Every structure is written in C-alpha cells, then in structure tokens.
Amino acid sequence: MIRYFQTNSPVNIVLLLIYAFLLKLYSFMHPHIPVARDTDGFVFHKLLAFLEPAGKSAPVIYPLIVLVLVLSQAIIFSNYINRQKLLPKPNFLPAMAYIFITALFPEWWQLSSTLIINSLLVWVWASLSDLFNNSGPKALVFNTGLAVGLASFLYFPAIGFTVLIFCALIIMRPFRLSEWLIAVLGVLTPYYFLFAYLFLIKDWNPLTYLPSVSVSLPQFRQDIRAWVAIILMIIPFLISGFYIQGNMLRMLIQARKSWSLMLIYLIITLLIPFINPAAGFEYWILCALPFAAFHAYTYFYAGKKWIPIVLHWLFVAFIVALNVWLPVTKG
C-alpha cells in the first residue's frame, strides 16, 4: 500500500480520504461534542457557539469538519513539501504520515482550536521557507505575522509562533531590523483592529481578549496506549535524523535551511502547550505537521524496503486496535 503514496498520483487523494475515515471510524460512530477551554481564544468560543445548534441535531457534523480539516491540511502540506523539494521527487508520503499521526490519540480526532490553527501554520511554514530567495520579503513577513496574530484568536498561546518567524529571519535572511519590526507589526495588527472595534462600540475591555499567561507542566494521561502512540511518533523521527544527516551535503542550500526551520517548528510546537497547560493531549496536535515531514523522510529514504512497510502497518494496527479498544473502555 505504501508504494502508492510514494508517487504523485491524484488517486492518492482518494486513498487518503479512505484512510482518514476508516482510521477514525469511532469518532463518526460516537461523535464528540467539543467544549472550549479557558486557554482557547474567543474566536473558537464563538465558533463553537455558532455550530452548537447544528451540532445538537446532528453531532456528526463535528467529525466531518475534522475530516475535512485533516485531509486538506495533509494534501496542502504534502504539496508544500514537494514544492520546497525537501524530498527528491513529488509524493504523498507527508500526507499519509499526517493522517496516521493525527489518528494516534483520540483527542486528535476531535475538533479543537489547535487543529484549526494547523491550517494557518501549514502556510506560515511554507511562506517562511520562501524567504530564502524572495526579493521582496517584507510583505511575506508581515503576512506570516498576521497569520500568527489571527491564530492567537483561536488559541492564545499560538502567539509563541512569533519565535518561528524570528528564527526564519535568522536562518533565511541577512539581519535587517526593518523586517523584524514588520513581523512584530503583523502579529499586532489583528489586535489593533480588535481593540479599535471594541473602542468604537464602547465595549472597551481588552483584558477579556488577553488571558493571563502561565507556564507549568501539563498533566499527561500515562497509560500504555499513550506511550505506544508516543513511541510510534518518536521512532520514525529518530530514524529520519540519520538519513537527513547522511544526505545533507547533497541537498540544495534552501532545502537544508528548510529542514532546519522544520526542526525549530517542531521544537516550538512541543513547547507551546506548556503555556496555560491543560490536561490531555488535545493541544499537542500542533506537532503533527512537523513530525509528518520527518516521518515522510524515513518512509522515502529507508535503506531496507521492509522498514517503511513495517512502520506503515504498525500505525494501522495500533489505530485499528484503538478504535476497537475505545468502545470497550467506554462501555
């Protein structure tokens, strides 16, 4: 099966749809109605309030939205990986890896603010990777800052992705203070218009939209399936490190810088959930995209043909077992 995803055939989109549906079948049979938490932004609260009437009459709308989001993110991300030439030839391996990773935890089958944010972060990473050869980067830097600012309206700790923009400016561009200031301006622009609107309607209460910030250790569910899922994410990532190091000198300079930025992207996604932490793995879905890129590298470059096949079926077996196990525990 994995050999199909090693090509760039449009048929793979159908296969991805089948995988995304079957591997999260439990979520369609038992739809989860999402509830916004304090750490979620006000836009996500309003979105859930908007969906609530339809969700009460047809709860399946929530897993359908998740399916559309995950599938579109997988395809777009794979296209960006191919465009940046991070792999030698176009394929759908990043998309397949993303579908698998987002099915590892039941919390990642549910509609969340961070799942929606991934749609913005796909574009942010690709745009920052384009800074290397961009003759007019200021508009691009401003737009990425704007996207990060908007993302914080859905999940406030996402403001931390401003660090990703700064890292991209360090890696991709010679230092220019104006570009750094433009990045900050882009991040602040959504808040400028928000506060201007609140002032005009005489509802001036900005602290409502600026939650307090705290950093502490989140609470993890430490059971066997959580540890197996974590191991399944880590092993292909570690293997990819050996292959990337071995092929580093053969890469174009832009590809090397893009992989460096991808690693920083991963580190930031692993740290952001420590801001205003909540119990569970819900907000850690931010790390699914960069993990998928490294997993795709392992699938493509594995020296032994059996390695990607074994990894593929280990993911499938675990996720299918998870779908079977959940009804038992719920019952």
Domain edges within the chain = 2-330
Per-residue pLDDT for 46 more than 60? yes
Q: What does the mean pLDDT of the chain come to?
A: 89
Per-residue pLDDT for 54 more than 80? yes
pLDDT tens figures, 115-136? 999 999 999 999 998 888 777 7
pLDDT tens figures, 12-30? 899 999 999 999 998 998 8
Rg (CA), the chain: 20
Written in H, E and C, the secondary structure of the chain is CHHHHCCCCCHHHHHHHHHHHHCCHHHHHCCCCCCCCCCECHHHHHHHHHHHHHHHHCCCHHHHHHHHHHHHHHHHHHHHHHHCCCCCCCCCHHHHHHHHHCCCCHHHHCCCHHHHHHHHHHHHHHHHHHHHHCCCHHHHHHHHHHHHHHHHHHEHHHHHHHHHHHHHHHHHCCCCHHHHHHHHHHHHHHHHHHHHHHHHCCCCCHHHHCCCCCECCCCCCCCHHHHHHHHHHHHHHHHHHHHHHHHHHHCCHHHHHHHHHHHHHHHHHHHHHHECCCCCCHHHHHHHHHHHHHHHHHHHHCCCCHHHHHHHHHHHHHHHHHHHHHHHHHC
Alpha-carbon span 62 to 32, nearest angstrom: 7
Is 219 or 239 the better-scoring residue by pLDDT? 239
Contact 158, 117 (CB under 8 A): yes
pLDDT tens figures, 148-163? 999 999 998 999 999 9
Note the pLDDT of residue 281.
Answer: 83
pLDDT confidence band for 254 (50 / 70 / 90): confident
pLDDT confidence band for 188 (50 / 70 / 90): very high
pTM (2 d.p.): 0.93
pLDDT tens figures, 285-300? 999 999 999 999 999 9
Alpha-carbon span 57 to 66, nearest angstrom: 18
Note the pLDDT of residue 274.
Answer: 85
pLDDT confidence band for 36 (50 / 70 / 90): confident
Alpha-carbon span 114 to 220, nearest angstrom: 17
Which of 8-17, 36-45, 87-96, 206-215 is the least confident region? 206-215
Average pLDDT of the segment spanning 260-278: 89
pLDDT confidence band for 264 (50 / 70 / 90): very high
Task: Kindly state the percentage of the chain with pLDDT values over 90.
Answer: 58
Is 151 or 85 the better-scoring residue by pLDDT? 151
Note the pLDDT of residue 184.
Answer: 95
pLDDT confidence band for 330 (50 / 70 / 90): low
Is 258 or 38 the better-scoring residue by pLDDT? 258
Note the pLDDT of residue 92.
Answer: 94
Is 278 or 131 the better-scoring residue by pLDDT? 131
